[in-house]
Amino acid sequence: MNQNLIDPPRGGGATLIPPPQHHVLGSYNCSGHGTALAVNFTGSMEAPNISESEWAVMEILWDSAPRSASDVAKALKKETGWAENTVRTLMTRLVEKGALQVDDENSTPKLYSPAVKREACVKAESESFMGRIFKGAAKPLLVHFARNAKLTPDEVKELKKLLDQSTTPDKDKNKN
């Protein structure tokens, strides 16, 4: 990862977008990315869209939280060369998007923790990628990776097992 991967801040802060009437309770546009923070009927937050640079920050915090911005910057310095102010900017964006939370606004230094699970972000990113690149179809995605990935025999065996399980009816899955 290098300095040119950083998305420069876009002024204006969060712009409210009126939510659809039937299922999203709130959303907003962060940093001009068209990012929506959606809340579904159950009240749980869907994963926000995060940039590659923001993902690097999240990885540090998913690994160990809570942490201060200074601690996160130190953890990223060797790999990215980013200044502490750059990391603080990314963390501010992540708080605005709802991906990070400040544990105690009155503490010094402020400590940050993930507000969304890594698995939820991975799922959202995977669905976004599959939708953009493969028009939402899983088969062309799997064919592409099967032809282009260098898989070990154990990985092939594990993937075959997962594919077999994915074709088993739901009621059969619950028997194991």
Strand 28-29 relative to strand 100-102, pairing: unpaired
Reported as a single tens digit per residue, the pLDDT across 63-85 is 999 999 999 999 999 999 999 99
Reported as a single tens digit per residue, the pLDDT across 117-141 is 999 999 999 998 999 999 988 888 8
Distances, alpha carbon 124 to alpha carbons 42, 49, 76, in Å: 18, 8, 24
To the nearest whole number, what is the mean pLDDT of the chain? 77
Reported as a single tens digit per residue, the pLDDT across 18-30 is 333 323 333 333 3
Which one is the CATH code of 3-118: 1.20.1260.10, 1.10.645.10, 1.10.10.10, 3.40.920.10?
Answer: 1.10.10.10
Distant-in-sequence, close-in-space partners of 18: CB < 8 Å, separation ≥ 6 = none
Domain layout of the chain by residue ranges: 3-118, 137-176
pLDDT category at 146 given cuts 50, 70, 90 is: confident
